[in-house]
């Protein structure tokens, strides 16, 4: 039986895949056992934020404010102001879109140590459409000083993101992917604040990918390797603070940079990288291709939409080849 | 892409003017039959798409049927006519109920319903303005419809139009603060041309409303915000029509007490049917239960 709204067609992978949301929930329960300051705040989203087990173990430590995102974020700020460590969880479009001013004033500007957890981001809600897609979140939040933005690429990195946010709480947004993705960090998951990690080295072109696109970038690198092209793949798990050093190094050491994100091309990772590259001295600049979402999506499943926007292996391969012929 | 269906249009207009002539009880019977057809169409759409929000679709069906077949002054041939009444489904997750009703009313080709949520379809999982005739504004994020409705009602006043605006919200949706801002504006601007219908099925996505962020006493809350409050059985067409047509010098809020999943015994008042998708056997049973008596 289909248990709930089926997002009918998630992107297929050849490798085994793992659930970020399960990793998120398990890790949160684990740290909540060790640290009683951990609380969860949600908006009628106990199920969709994967908090069912957390609630079973810590019934008093889930604050469900109902369908009221602005209130949810404000409440989170108040909890943090009194020394608790709130993980504020909601579907990413409503958490970031509806409560953007609360995130700005109550979290980033006030520097309350709230961990905002954007569930089911990007186009994970497929045919539920643009109102339910969260492709603007990276652009909106990047504009806020003092807010970390973390986009884990796999389940292991999701665990690290939760663990580090709890041990060093600061205003943070974590994008928690909905559909299962392959393990890209292979037991060596790294998550260093403000750093990209190199998941494959290469010297022709650099692909900087984030979240769900990292595994695709690795697949594209395989395809290109077979064609004799050596690709460096950087996992941009931290979008803010931004790894200016890695970007500068890539611009210098490879012939171009492709960025790939399940997010808007206006102001997301690609735009962030481009603003660094554009400000380098002319000889150190590199040509770029920015892959992402550039319009309100038509109706379609997640897999359909990722293909529609060229956010797939072919799209990355094509972009790399274009850069090499420039 | 705009879609309209000239075939069913003539029937709709005939049916509507017939219903308008009937005494309330007889009109109610006609509407009930019409609503059951819409419910069957909803089940088929969700079955086909493999997704949807079935519980809230079924609780709102009688409300949508009453509004479109009982009171709205609109012409599906001219879906953007300046003086048309305005309908906004603020609980946009119940798009299947809206599309089925729009198809019955001649805005949407019945055959188009088969494309619900299919790649490239105009019938997105949440209603999208500009893609479907009769959809006045895109909805999906909760708590948007009433403020927009306040805008269309003020616009009617400013332009000397006698158009009325009808907004349907969920009850869980009333937890959004934006609604309460809009409720105040409506009273402030004396919007006697605005009707809010709250689909009071007492369930939201994950639990009962009163166990989540309680709304009661909703009637006195709305009244204290300056609204003319009418509480009805949201599955009694006579009561719905009376509440929808009795004039007022204030904005009208109809609390329609409904049952989530109404019409399908095993879905009724069960939280999991918020967006669960029935399997083949459940679809068969649901359609059988929704056969005309
Ligand atoms: C701003 C916003 N937050 C959360 C959601 C997710 N959501 C979709 S439907 C729903 C429950 C709605 O409950 P209610 O308004 O009572 O509708 P009904 O029970 O009639 O389906 C939720 C929380 C949303 N669509 N928009």
Closest C-alpha residue for ligand 1 atom 17:
B170
Q: What is the pLDDT of residue B17?
A: 82
B-chain residue closest to A62, CA distance: B212
Question: Which region holds residue B187: left if phi is over 0, alpha if psi is between -120 and 50, else beta?
Answer: alpha
Residues of A in contact with B276 (CB under 8 A): 1-4
What residues are paired with B167 via a beta bridge? B88, B196
**Average of per-residue pLDDT across A58-86:** 97
Residues A47 and A152 in one domain: yes
Decide if A8 touches B, using CB distance below 8 A. yes
Residues with CB under 6 A from ligand 1: A 43-44, 67, 69, 94, 98; B 53, 55-56, 59, 91, 93, 140-143, 170-173, 199, 201, 203-205, 260
Q: What is the pLDDT of residue B285?
A: 98
- CATH number of the domain to which A277 belongs: 3.40.50.920
Q: What is the pLDDT of residue A191?
A: 95
Q: Which atom of ligand 1 is nearest to the CA of B169?
A: 15
Tell me the nearest-neighbour CA distance from A130 into chain B, angstroms. Answer: 9
Interchain CB distance below 8 Å, B212 and A66: yes
Return the residue matching tokens 């369908």: A67
What residues are paired with B104 via a beta bridge? none
**What value does the CA radius of gyration of chain B take, rounded to a whole number of Å?**
18
Q: What is the pLDDT of residue A185?
A: 83
Of A91-95, B8-12, B101-105, the one with minimum mean pLDDT is B8-12
Q: How many domains does chain A have?
A: 2
Whether the pLDDT of residue A102 is over 50: the answer is: yes
Confidence of residue A12 (pLDDT cuts 50, 70, 90): confident
Residues of A in contact with B96 (CB under 8 A): none
- Does residue A101 carry a catalytic annotation? no
Q: Can you list the positions of beta strands (E) in chain B? A: 86-89, 165-170, 194-200, 228-233, 252-257
Residues of B in contact with A66 (CB under 8 A): 172, 175, 204, 209, 212-213
In a domain, A92, yes or no: yes
Considering only CB atoms, B177 lies closest to which of A70, A125, A300, namely: A70
In a domain, A94, yes or no: yes
User: Which of A127, A303, A305, A306 is best to mutate for the B interface (most B CBs within 10 A)?
Assistant: A127
CA of A3 to the centre of ligand 1 (A): 17
In a domain, A175, yes or no: yes
CA angle B279, B281, B283 (to 5 degrees): 70
Which residue, of A182, A206, A229, is where some domain finishes?
A182
Q: What ipTM was assigned to the predicted interfaces of this complex?
A: 0.89
How many Å separate Cα B251 from the centre of its chain?
Answer: 18
A-chain residue closest to B210, CA distance: A66
Which residue, of A182, A216, A249, is where some domain finishes?
A182
Residues A107 and A216 in one domain: no
Residue A176 backbone dihedrals phi, psi, to 5 degrees: -105, 105
CA angle A219, A221, A227 (to 5 degrees): 115
Q: Let me know: does A114 contact A39? Beta carbons within 8 Å.
A: no
B residues 215-244 closer than 8 Å to A (CB): none
Interchain CB distance below 8 Å, B213 and A64: yes
Decide if A129 touches B, using CB distance below 8 A. yes
In a domain, A65, yes or no: yes
pLDDT, one tens digit per residue, over A41-65 is: 999 999 999 999 999 999 999 999 9
CA of B205 to the centre of ligand 1 (A): 6
Interchain CB distance below 8 Å, A131 and B141: yes
Q: What is the pLDDT of residue A196?
A: 97
Residue A289 backbone dihedrals phi, psi, to 5 degrees: -130, 135
pLDDT, one tens digit per residue, over B253-276 is: 999 999 999 999 999 999 999 999
What residues are paired with A313 via a beta bridge? none
Residues A236 and A145 in one domain: no
- B86-122: buried (b, 16+ CB within 10 Å) or exposed (e) per residue? bbbbbbbbbbbbbbbbbbbbbbbbeebbebbbbbebb
- A130-158: buried (b, 16+ CB within 10 Å) or exposed (e) per residue? bbbbbbbbbbbbbebeebbbbbbbbbbbb
**The overall pTM is greater than 0.90:** yes
pLDDT, one tens digit per residue, over B154-202 is: 999 999 999 999 999 999 999 999 999 999 999 999 999 999 999 999 9
pLDDT, one tens digit per residue, over B194-236 is: 999 999 999 999 999 999 999 999 999 999 999 999 999 999 9
Query: Around Cβ B158, how many Cβ atoms within 10 Å?
Result: 8
A-chain residue closest to B170, CA distance: A67
Decide if B8 touches A, using CB distance below 8 A. no
Tell me the nearest-neighbour CA distance from A136 into chain B, angstroms. Answer: 15
Residues A87 and A218 in one domain: no
Query: Around Cβ A16, how many Cβ atoms within 10 Å?
Result: 8
pLDDT, one tens digit per residue, over B113-147 is: 999 999 999 999 999 999 999 999 999 999 999 99
Collapsed DSSP state (helix, strand, coil) of residue B201: coil
Tell me the nearest-neighbour CA distance from A202 into chain B, angstroms. Answer: 37
Residue A198 backbone dihedrals phi, psi, to 5 degrees: -85, 110
Interchain CB distance below 8 Å, A301 and B126: no
pLDDT, one tens digit per residue, over A231-284 is: 999 999 999 999 999 999 999 999 999 999 999 999 999 999 999 999 999 999
Residues A29 and A142 in one domain: yes
**What's the whole-number average pLDDT of chain B?**
94
Q: Let me know: does A92 contact A82? Beta carbons within 8 Å.
A: no
Tell me how far apart the alpha carbons of residues A177 and A179 are, in angstroms, rounded to a whole number. Answer: 6
Nearest to residue B228, comparing CAs of B183, B163, B181?
Answer: B183
Which residue, of A124, A155, A182, is where some domain finishes?
A182
Q: What is the pLDDT of residue A186?
A: 80
Whether the pLDDT of residue A3 is over 50: the answer is: no
Interchain CB distance below 8 Å, B277 and A68: no
**Average of per-residue pLDDT across A71-95:** 97
Query: Can you read off the two tokens belonging to residue B85?
Result: 């009444």
Decide if B121 touches A, using CB distance below 8 A. yes
Tell me how far apart the alpha carbons of residues A172 and A147 are, in angstroms, rounded to a whole number. Answer: 5
- CATH number of the domain to which A23 belongs: 3.40.50.970
In a domain, A191, yes or no: no
Ordered by where they begin, the domains of chain B are 6-289 (3.40.50.970)
> Domain of A243?
197-324
Of A10-24, A191-205, B32-46, B184-198, the one with minimum mean pLDDT is A10-24
Q: What is the pLDDT of residue A67?
A: 97
Residues A26 and A173 in one domain: yes
Interchain CB distance below 8 Å, A66 and B140: no
**What's the whole-number average pLDDT of chain A?**
95
Tell me how far apart the alpha carbons of residues A144 and A107 are, in angstroms, rounded to a whole number. Answer: 10
CA angle B154, B157, B159 (to 5 degrees): 110
Whether the pLDDT of residue B10 is over 60: the answer is: no
CA angle B261, B131, B201 (to 5 degrees): 20
In a domain, A3, yes or no: no
**What value does the CA radius of gyration of chain A take, rounded to a whole number of Å?**
19
In a domain, A11, yes or no: no
Nearest to residue B91, comparing CAs of B179, B193, B192, B181?
Answer: B179
Nearest to residue A91, comparing CAs of A33, A21, A161, A34?
Answer: A21
CA of A179 to the centre of ligand 1 (A): 21
CA dihedral B104, B107, B110, B115 (to 10 degrees): -130
Residues A66 and A99 in one domain: yes
Tell me how far apart the alpha carbons of residues A123 and A309 are, in angstroms, rounded to a whole number. Answer: 11
C-alpha distance from residue B143 to each of A49, A73, A297, B93, B231 (Å): 20, 17, 22, 12, 21
Q: What is the pLDDT of residue B13?
A: 73
* Proportion of chain B above pLDDT 70, given as a percent: 96
Residues A31 and A123 in one domain: yes
In a domain, A271, yes or no: yes
CA angle B225, B256, B188 (to 5 degrees): 20
Residues A78 and A123 in one domain: yes
Residues A31 and A163 in one domain: yes
Q: What is the pLDDT of residue B8?
A: 52
Residues A291 and A234 in one domain: yes
**Average of per-residue pLDDT across B13-41:** 89
Residues A293 and A207 in one domain: yes
Return the residue matching tokens 């909803």: B42
Q: Let me know: does A50 contact A214? Beta carbons within 8 Å.
A: no
């Amino acid at each position: 039986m289909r248990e709930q709204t089926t997002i009918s067609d998630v992107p297929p992978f050849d490798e085994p895949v793992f659930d970020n949301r399960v990793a998120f929930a398990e890790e949160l329960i684990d740290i909540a056992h060790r640290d009683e300051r951990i609380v969860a705040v949600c908006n009628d989203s106990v199920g969709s934020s994967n908090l069912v087990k957390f609630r079973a173990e810590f019934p008093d430590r889930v604050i469900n404010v109902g369908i009221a995102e602005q209130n949810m974020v404000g409440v989170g700020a108040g909890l943090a102001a009194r020394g608790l460590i709130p993980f504020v969880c909601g579907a990413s479009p409503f958490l970031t879109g509806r409560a953007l001013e609360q995130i700005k004033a109550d979290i980033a500007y006030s520097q309350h140590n709230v961990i905002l957890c954007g569930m089911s981001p990007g186009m994970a809600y497929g045919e539920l459409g643009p109102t339910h897609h969260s492709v603007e979140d990276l652009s909106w939040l990047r504009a806020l000083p003092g807010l970390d933005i973390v986009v884990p690429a796999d389940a292991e990195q999701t665990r690290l993101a939760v663990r580090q946010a709890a041990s060093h709480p600061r205003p943070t947004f974590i994008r928690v992917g909905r559909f299962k993705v392959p393990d890209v960090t292979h037991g060596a998951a790294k998550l260093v604040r403000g750093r990209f990690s190199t998941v494959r080295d290469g010297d022709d072109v650099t692909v900087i990918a984030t979240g769900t696109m990292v595994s695709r970038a690795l697949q594209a690198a395989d395809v290109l390797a077979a064609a004799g092209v050596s690709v460096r793949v950087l996992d941009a798990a931290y979008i803010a603070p931004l790894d200016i050093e890695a970007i500068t190094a890539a611009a210098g050491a490879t012939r171009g940079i492709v960025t790939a994100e399940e997010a808007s091309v206006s102001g997301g990772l690609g735009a962030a990288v481009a603003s660094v590259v554009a400000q380098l001295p002319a000889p150190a600049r590199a040509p770029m291709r920015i892959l992402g979402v550039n319009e309100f999506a038509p109706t379609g499943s997640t897999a359909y939409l990722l293909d529609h926007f060229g956010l797939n292996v072919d799209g990355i391969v094509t972009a790399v080849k274009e850069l090499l012929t420039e | 892409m705009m879609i309209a269906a000239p075939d069913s249009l003539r029937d709709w207009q005939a049916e509507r003017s017939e219903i308008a002539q009937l005494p309330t009880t007889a009109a109610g019977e006609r509407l009930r039959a019409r609503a059951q057809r819409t419910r069957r169409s909803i089940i088929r759409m969700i079955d086909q798409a493999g997704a949807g929000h079935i519980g809230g679709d079924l609780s709102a069906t009688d409300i949508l049927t009453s509004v479109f077949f009982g009171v709205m002054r609109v012409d599906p041939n001219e879906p953007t006519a300046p003086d048309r009444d305005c309908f906004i489904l603020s609980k946009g997750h119940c798009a299947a109920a809206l599309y089925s009703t729009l198809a019955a009313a001649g805005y949407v080709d019945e055959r188009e319903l088969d494309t619900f949520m299919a790649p490239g379809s105009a019938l997105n999982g949440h209603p999208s303005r500009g893609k479907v005739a009769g959809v006045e504004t895109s909805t999906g994020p909760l708590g948007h419809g009433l403020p927009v409705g306040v805008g269309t009602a003020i616009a009617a006043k400013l332009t000397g139009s006698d158009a009325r605006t009808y907004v349907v919200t969920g009850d869980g949706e009333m937890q959004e603060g934006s609604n309460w801002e809009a409720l105040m504006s409506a009273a402030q601007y004396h919007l006697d041309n605005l009707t809010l219908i709250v689909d009071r099925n007492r369930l939201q996505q994950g639990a009962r409303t009163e166990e989540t962020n309680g709304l009661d006493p909703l009637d006195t809350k709305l009244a204290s915000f300056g609204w003319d409050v009418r509480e009805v059985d949201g599955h009694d067409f006579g009561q719905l029509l009376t509440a929808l047509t009795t004039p007022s010098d204030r904005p009208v809020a109809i609390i329609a007490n409904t049952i989530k999943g109404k019409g399908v015994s095993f879905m009724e008042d069960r939280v999991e049917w918020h967006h669960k998708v029935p399997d083949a056997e459940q679809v068969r049973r649901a359609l059988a239960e929704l056969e005309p008596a």
